[in-house]
């Protein structure tokens, strides 16, 4: 048994088990994960996930914090979230889509951990398969060795493709706007206090409504950074905006706060120093999106001192502030906002040096009244109209000044 366990631990560094099921000549049907359970304590914890057929999977380890990542083919997770609630060795468990053809389970540990068993076995009735993961405590040194000794290709890093639909290519002179639906896939975002609606659903519905409204304006072409329930890293969102030469980047969110009475819209712009604690806390949470999805932390290359780049950033920041002011001008007497509704902090998703960018908190899912509005189709259309008016005024002002 010890020999087998040791072999499985070594294999878990980059373990691939079984072929994915696919129809001949067609796109593979997503796996169905229809059940899950977790048992154990903070010394040893077992996780079992039931699938309709044999899943291929790979296992990797990520440090800071200690996480185990299980990559899967496209998978529909059909079980109740309570079945895989965090316990034992794990303080957080996330699962969901990472792209069109992949999914992921991310297990965030309370201490260094390793898998003693990672295998797929048939159900007793022979009709389905189950993924069995046995995690146990390990030392910091052994966990570091597991991280160092592995090699892997993150499926979420495979490709960043065009989000502009075929047949809707911008014409020369069009003002291009990237509409970014926050969160997605494995990163659900906040959860509504009343309806338990996930933030990623709210932001995608609003992003589609806003892009549709903007695209009805002549000379404006809006595109979505994501048009379905998939995960995009923060850098991929910025990259998409720059690839498509966007003149604006609008990132949409609907977070939660501990203070349930706070409600209303907020507009954020980039700044190295946060305007207040609420802005700092929000930026810190939003910047954890990649970590939640099990992304490796890659050190950013040191920036080269470049006076032209610095001037570009300053100009872009000034344009971002102008856009924020236009948005709040449109909202006045029409949409409720929080006190001091223009705030700033170090949001990673706003860091494109050459694309004016704002992060718009549509409202807070932690407030029952805001939650009702966020799910209301008519309110969504009203917000889209007001934002479109703000974008048009901003664009006219920039054009008039030779921008």
Name the average pLDDT for the chain: 86
Last residue of a domain, one of 90, 120, 152: 152
Q: What is the mean pLDDT of residues 76-87?
A: 92
pLDDT digits (tens, 9 = 90+) for 215-231: 999 999 999 999 999 89
pLDDT digits (tens, 9 = 90+) for 342-394: 999 999 999 988 999 999 999 999 999 999 999 999 999 999 999 999 999 99
- CA 330 from chain centre, in angstroms, equals 28
- CATH (domain of 355): 3.40.630.40
Last residue of a domain, one of 152, 185, 214: 152
Q: Are residues 145 and 204 in the same domain?
A: no
pLDDT of residue 269: 96
Using CA atoms, how far apart are residues 102 and 75, in angstroms rounded to an integer? 7
Is the CB of residue 323 less than 8 Å from the CB of residue 358? yes
Q: What angle do CA 36, 150, 42 make, to 5 degrees?
A: 40
Q: Are residues 127 and 228 in the same domain?
A: no
pLDDT digits (tens, 9 = 90+) for 323-348: 999 999 999 999 999 999 999 999 99
Please, which pLDDT band fits residue 5 given cuts at 50, 70 and 90? Answer: very low
Q: Are residues 185 and 93 in the same domain?
A: no
Q: What is the mean pLDDT of residues 28-35?
A: 90
Give me the phi and psi of 321, to 5 degrees please. -65, -40
Q: Which of 235, 11, 265, 254 is nearest to 120 (CA)?
A: 11
Residue 257 within a domain: yes
Q: Are residues 187 and 125 in the same domain?
A: no
Q: What percent of the chain has pLDDT over 70?
A: 85
Q: Are residues 144 and 192 in the same domain?
A: no
Residue 163 within a domain: no
Is the CB of residue 259 less than 8 Å from the CB of residue 368? no
Q: Are residues 191 and 140 in the same domain?
A: no
Q: Are residues 99 and 210 in the same domain?
A: no
CB half-sphere exposure, 270, CA atoms < 13 A: 23
Q: Are residues 9 and 100 in the same domain?
A: yes
pLDDT of residue 27: 67
Is the CB of residue 285 less than 8 Å from the CB of residue 255? yes
pLDDT of residue 164: 53
Q: Which of 8-12, 52-56, 244-248 has the weakest average pLDDT?
A: 8-12
**Which residues span the domain enclosing 245?**
175-400
Q: Are residues 115 and 204 in the same domain?
A: no
Is the CB of residue 48 less than 8 Å from the CB of residue 37? yes
pLDDT of residue 28: 74
Q: Are residues 221 and 313 in the same domain?
A: yes
Using CA atoms, how far apart are residues 189 and 237, in angstroms rounded to an integer? 16
pLDDT digits (tens, 9 = 90+) for 98-137: 877 899 999 999 999 999 999 999 988 777 899 999 999 9
pLDDT of residue 398: 83
Please, which pLDDT band fits residue 15 given cuts at 50, 70 and 90? Answer: very low
pTM for the full model? 0.81
- CATH (domain of 105): 2.60.40.3500
pLDDT over 80 at 296, yes or no: no
Residue 160 within a domain: no
How many beta carbons lie within 10 A of that of residue 335, not counting itself? 20
pLDDT of residue 26: 58
Residue 75 within a domain: yes
What residues does 67 pair with on adjacent strands?
A: 62, 108
Please, which pLDDT band fits residue 194 given cuts at 50, 70 and 90? Answer: confident
pLDDT of residue 401: 74
Residue 168 within a domain: no
Number of domains in the chain: 2
Residue 299 within a domain: yes
Q: Which of 48-57, 86-95, 117-126, 275-284 has the weakest average pLDDT?
A: 117-126
Q: Are residues 129 and 196 in the same domain?
A: no
């Amino acid at each position: 048994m010890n020999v087998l366990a040791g072999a499985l631990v070594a294999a878990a560094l980059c373990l691939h088990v079984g072929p994915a099921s696919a129809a001949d000549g067609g796109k593979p049907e997503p796996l169905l994960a229809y059940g899950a359970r977790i048992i154990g304590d903070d010394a040893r914890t077992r996780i079992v996930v039931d699938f309709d057929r044999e899943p291929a999977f790979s296992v990797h380890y990520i440090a800071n914090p200690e996480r185990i990542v299980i990559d899967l083919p496209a998978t529909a997770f059909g079980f109740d979230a309570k079945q895989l609630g965090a316990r034992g060795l794990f303080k957080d468990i996330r699962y969901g889509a990472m792209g069109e053809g992949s999914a992921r389970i991310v297990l965030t540990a309370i201490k260094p951990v390793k898998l003693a068993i990672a295998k797929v076995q048939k159900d007793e009735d022979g009709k389905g398969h189950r993924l069995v993961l046995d995690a146990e405590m390990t030392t910091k040194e052994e966990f570091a060795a597991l991280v160092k000794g592995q090699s892997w290709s993150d499926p979420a890093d495979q490709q960043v493709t065009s989000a502009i639909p075929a047949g809707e290519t911008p014409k020369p002179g069009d003002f291009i706007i990237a509409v970014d639906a926050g969160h997605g896939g494995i990163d659900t975002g906040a959860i509504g206090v009343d309806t338990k609606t996930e933030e990623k659903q709210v932001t995608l519905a609003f992003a589609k409504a806003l892009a549709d409204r903007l695209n009805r304006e002549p000379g404006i072409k809006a595109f979505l950074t994501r048009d379905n329930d998939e995960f995009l890293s923060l850098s991929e969102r910025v990259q998409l905006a720059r690839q498509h030469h966007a003149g604006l980047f609008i990132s949409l969110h609907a977070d939660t706060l501990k203070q349930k009475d706070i409600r209303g819209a907020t507009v954020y712009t980039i700044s190295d120093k946060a305007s207040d604690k609420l802005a700092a806390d929000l930026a810190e949470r939003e910047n954890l999106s990649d970590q939640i999805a099990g992304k490796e932390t890659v050190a950013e290359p040191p920036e080269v001192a470049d006076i032209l780049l610095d001037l570009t950033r300053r100009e872009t920041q000034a344009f971002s502030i102008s856009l924020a002011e236009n948005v709040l001008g449109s909202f006045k007497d029409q949409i409720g906002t929080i006190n001091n509704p223009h705030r700033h902090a170090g949001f990673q998703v706003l860091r494109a040096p050459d694309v004016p960018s704002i992060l718009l908190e549509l409202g807070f899912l932690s407030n029952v009244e805001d939650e009702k509005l966020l799910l209301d189709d008519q309110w969504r259309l009203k917000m889209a109209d007001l934002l479109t008016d703000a974008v048009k005024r901003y664009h006219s002002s920039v054009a008039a000044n030779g921008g």
